[in-house]
Structure 1
Amino acid sequence: MRHGVLGGGKRIRARLVYAAGRLAGASNTLLDRAAVAVELIHAYSLIHDDLPAMDDDDLRRGQPTVHVQFDEATAILAGDALQALAFEVLTHRSVDAETARRWVAILAKAAGPEGMVAGQTLDIAGEDRSLSLAEVEAIHRRKTGALLHASVAMGATAGELSDPEVAAADRFGAEIGLAFQIHDDVLDATTATEVLGKPQGSDQRQGKSTYVSALGLDVAKREAQRRFEDACGHLATFADRARELTDLAHLIVSRTH
């Protein structure tokens, strides 16, 4: 479990929780719980995605994947435990019951059969097929975008934002989650393994359709930028109060790994 959680990473999902939560006026002490939970879910999903029956990757964050470092049974159990631990963290007595209920609902939907699991299912089913752009987007919004979207939603609903403000933050989360994965597709096609911390070109080797395969590299880059701009446009209602979220959005589409 420690190998999967503590072995590096940019913690973008946790940072989105904090940025959206601070925008909403929530305390860092409260937000700690949501930030930890989303990172635990993210780590569980990576451990399982890396398994031979799934994406069959042997390198993650510059180190051997959990099933390579240990074995497949350990990797499955570690992922299961991290998923359960995430919800235990959210329902700690320090979190009021209504906030815990709301967070559990958001995170469970993002991780479950309408979110990450659906995305991974569609991703596997689409291997060695030429998918349409709409099909690629459906995968990306679920497999990767859903948890990033949920990270923003958990932060935004932790404080005192009005309903229209929560809705604006939610639209931001949906678009920046998609921009993240489009940029990931670009990085997978253009960046060396040593920089990425995971095998370069793995999508192509596994026969996966991406924004790069669907649109070409240059158009995919422009699409990531367009989604970034659309996301930031939803933050206009907050003006400078949303600077932290805007800065994170810029990081998401300019990162090198």
Structure 2
Amino acid sequence: IENTTSITDKIDDDKGTLGRLVNDPTIADNVEAITDDARGFLGTLFGLKAYVGLRSEWNFGAALARHYVTIELHTRPDKYYLIELEKGPRGNYPVVTLNFDPTVDPNNWIRKTVIEDKVRFTFQFAKRFGWATLRYGIKESTGGIGIDANKTWLSHRFGLSLDLFDATFDQLPRVKLTAAIELFRNIYIVGGIDEIFNNPDTLTIVKGTDPSGVPIQFDTFQFGRDYFAGAMLKFSDEDLAALLTVAGSAVSSAAQ
């Protein structure tokens, strides 16, 4: 009993860590603030709303296709992060070098462009202002900005996107205008113009000595203005959950 009384007296006199925790209101306020911050962080983390998109585009000038996988992570109704992977004929971001070799051409420099067959990466932050959404960050492995306009008319969604990126490869930055129209739920048709301000041109690809050669799409590298059309599927996390539930039920039924 005496030990208990001694401990109680020390707590009342603000002695020791427990005494300060019990009697100092500043510490209590700090603990509450930390708790509120943690609650807000967890609410944001587990309150994410996700959209997944699959898109394919056919470029008429290059006669080749591009394929995209897109993820939108919405942290708030007016803010989200855009993550995108693109696989297309441009390959990875071109590496351009200038070399002078008098044994090859003593009068001119040689411009060498190396393009690896790799996936391009996009990561952008987006902020919505009414009907318009502004984006900035990395666009197809280069710096870029963009703006989106979205409207709903007669229960169908319409979207218009303008992207500015890749400012070093051609004479002018790459400007891409894309329009999307929802035909049915989650199904869109897309079309537009790529590299609006750059004239169409081609680069001849040097095959080297590899006996296997180079894939046919890389015999020539076409860049500059081009028109495209394609289709897109876009699902929310609720749509994906429903699809997985249906698929799981179908698999279970088939297994029985």
TM superposition score normalised by structure 1: 0.29
Greater gyration radius: 2
- Structure showing greater relative contact order (alpha-carbon pairs closer than 8 Å, 6 or more residues apart): 1
* Higher normalized helix content (fraction of residues): 1
